[in-house]
Amino acid sequence: MDRIKITGGARLEGSIPISGAKNAALPLMIASLLTEDRLTLKNVPNLADVNLLARILRNHGVDLAVDGKRSGGTPHLGETFHLTARDISDTTAPYELVSRMRASFWVLGPLVARMGVAKVSLPGGCAIGTRPVDLHLMGLRELGAEIEIDAGYVIAKAPKGLVGGHVLFPTVSVGATHNVLLAATLAKGETLIENAAREPEVGDVASCLVKMGAEIEGIGTSTLRIQGKPRLEGAVHTVLPDRIETGTFAFAVAATGGDVVLEGARRELLRNALDTLATTGASVSDTETGVRIQRNGNRLEAVDVETQPFPGFPTDLQAQLMALMTRAHGTSVIRETIFENRFMHVQELARLGADIKLHGDTATIKGVKALRGAPVMATDLRASVSLVIAGLMAEGETIINRVYHLDRGFERLEEKLSRCGARIERISAG
Ligand code: UD1
């Protein structure tokens, strides 16, 4: 297995291209199941999760052609995918594939909407918590799907097609919102989704669906009203920039005391996180091409944060903020309200000398004067990248093991950082 070696202490300077958002690219690719026509997605990031979903979609019969990057093209624009689901040859998503990536469960809604039947493996547990799918099933039942669970599979049936319904989510779920929204575009009549997730990636998917001929009101709000259509058409859509990658690099620059422009980043997609960063004393400003992060020699101030659904502080940046706070001036308190077990990075940060106390869903981080490099273990996607930030701040050498977690969600991470002066390299398992 590959490892990453970081020698800490280098200042980051220059620019970092921000890739297309993983969390939008995945449901956008799944949207291709809704039409016989070609869906073209631009700015798709080259990530392990995207490649795995491509395999899953091919398994359903989706034809996928990929254009590479054009030489001399805009550096932060990714690949172009042409997806055509002319015939869906298989309505089953098998355990071997779904268990490796939760978001693949979201094929359930579109498949049952278009084909009247779908059999999708339950995704199973995951390192950051139990992550149930009850809200997905509740939503699809509201649209008339008959659902049973058999031998680890969800079997959804709607032989006469789905019908519009009223879905009121008791808690905000990004995945359940995607699943029901995608399905509702092909249901007969009107669907009302209340307490929908307002994450920008949901808005991006909804805008693409509108280009495909769907009728959706309330995009960007927690109330979505969808008029179902008998069929959708092809479209061309550009994936929005990744706000989690943006926030991660913003925190990395603040951590090392650098000056970097995050090319293609859009501040409004992560206002809360960037405002939090500004409160610590780093400077955040808009440029013509992206967002600039600067920090002079001052020590950052501690901040208290609670993770919340959008527009609150994202859970996907909690680990990275914690890494930053390990060296802040003062004590910060971070409360994780979305996932119950998303603190695996705490033990690993402690190996570098961080002073963190955990109490239930709350971590108290006392800033220390210095971290010292050590071997550490990546445990999940966002935890891994918090170790990269800590390694960049630490004195001496940090080796991160199990970096396949990073490759799931960060495109060319070492290259992007080393081009700005970080001493980071991948050691291939050979
Ligand atoms: C998505 C994101 C992930 C992010 C998360 C929260 C993608 C590919 N993944 O994950 O990066 O961390 O949103 O912003 O976009 N829940 C239930 N029942 C359900 C579904 C969810 O109780 O049926 C709970 C979960 O356990 C969790 C909370 O709702 O506590 C939020 O989860 P959800 O928004 O669904 O996360 P994902 O869509 O899996």
103 CA to centre of ligand 1 in angstroms: 9
CA nearest 305: which of 348, 255, 360, 361?
361
Placement of tokens 């179902």 in the chain: 228
Q: Is 103 in the pocket of ligand 1 (CB under 6 A)?
A: yes
Two tokens at 400? 């991160």
Mean pLDDT (whole number) for 1-12: 94
Cα atoms in the Cβ-side hemisphere of radius 13 Å centred on 191: 31
Contact 251, 317 (CB under 8 A): yes
Q: Which residues contact 347 (CB under 8 A, 6 or more apart)?
A: none
Is the pLDDT assigned to residue 297 strictly greater than 80?
no
Mean pLDDT of all residues in 339-348: 90
Chain segment 13-32, per-residue pLDDT in tens: 999 999 999 999 999 999 99
128, pLDDT greater than 70: no
CA 47 to chain centre: 11
Mutate to test the pocket of ligand 1, among 154, 168, 173 (most ligand atoms within 8 A of CB): 173
Mean pLDDT of 109-136: 84
Q: What's the rounded mean pLDDT across residues 231-243?
A: 98
Q: Is the Cβ–Cβ distance between 273 and 346 less than 8 Å?
A: no
Mean pLDDT to the nearest integer, 356-370: 97
Mean predicted lDDT score pLDDT of the chain: 94
State residue 171's pLDDT score: 96
Token representation of residue 380:
């999940």
Distances 133 to 161, 177, 179 between C-alpha atoms, Å? 22, 11, 11
Residues marked as catalytic: 126
pLDDT score of 100: 87
What confidence tens digit (pLDDT) does each residue in 247-296 have?
999 999 999 999 999 999 999 999 999 999 999 999 999 999 999 999 98
Return the number of other C-beta atoms located less than 10 Å from residue 385's C-beta.
Answer: 30
Tokens for 315, please give them: 């859970």
Q: Which of 417, 429, 426 is nearest to 14 (CA)?
A: 417
Q: Which two tokens stand for residue 313?
A: 């502080």
Q: Whose CA is nearest to atom 35 of ligand 1?
A: 173
Check if the beta carbon of residue 285 is closer than 8 Å to that of residue 265: no
The separation between the first and the last C-alpha atoms of the chain, rounded to the nearest angstrom, is: 8
Task: Report percent pLDDT > 70 for the chain.
Answer: 96
Q: What is the pLDDT of residue 73?
A: 57
pLDDT at 57 exceeding the cut of 90: yes
Token pair in block for residue 195:
């307490």
134: Cβ below 6 Å to ligand 1? Answer: yes
Lowest mean pLDDT among 114-128, 251-265, 357-371: 114-128
Residue 145: closest CA among 174, 172, 167: 167
Ligand 1 centroid, distance to 342 Cα (angstroms): 12
- Neighbouring CB atoms inside 10 A of 150's CB total 8
Question: Cα separation of 116 and 14, whole Å?
Answer: 52
Helix, strand, coil % in the chain, rounded to nearest 5: 35, 30, 40
CA of 137, closest atom in ligand 1 = 23
CA-to-CA distance for 91 and 85, rounded, in angstroms? 12
pLDDT digits 0-9 by tens, 373-420: 999 998 888 889 999 999 999 999 999 998 888 888 899 999 999 999
Which atom number of ligand 1 is nearest to the Cα of residue 199?
A: 14
pLDDT-based confidence at residue 429 (cuts at 50, 70, 90): confident
131: left (phi over 0), alpha (psi -120 to 50) or beta: left
Most confident of 1-5, 298-302, 372-376: 372-376
Q: What is the DSSP letter of 31?
A: H
Q: Whose CA is nearest to atom 37 of ligand 1?
A: 175
Question: pLDDT at position 298, please?
Answer: 83
* Contact status, residue 82 vs residue 3, Cβ threshold 8 Å: no
Mutate to test the pocket of ligand 1, among 131, 180, 244 (most ligand atoms within 8 A of CB): 131
d(CA 53, CA 25): 10
Q: Is the pLDDT of residue 74 over 70?
A: no
* Residue 93 near residue 119, CB atoms below 8 Å: yes
Element (H, E) at 277: helix 271-279
Dihedral of alpha carbons 117, 239, 314, 11, sign: positive
Q: Which atom of ligand 1 is nearest to the CA of 244?
A: 11
262 forms bridges with which residues in the sheet? 16, 291
In ligand 1, the atom with minimum distance to the C-alpha of 338 is 30
* pTM for the whole structure: 0.96
User: How many angstroms does the Cα of residue 104 sit away from the middle of ligand 1?
Assistant: 13
The whole-angstrom separation of Cα 129 and Cα 133 is 12
Residue 105 is classified by DSSP as G
Q: Which two tokens stand for residue 285?
A: 């400003």
Task: Check pLDDT > 80 for residue 125.
Answer: no
Which residues are CB-contacts of 268 (< 8 A; sequence separation ≥ 6)? none
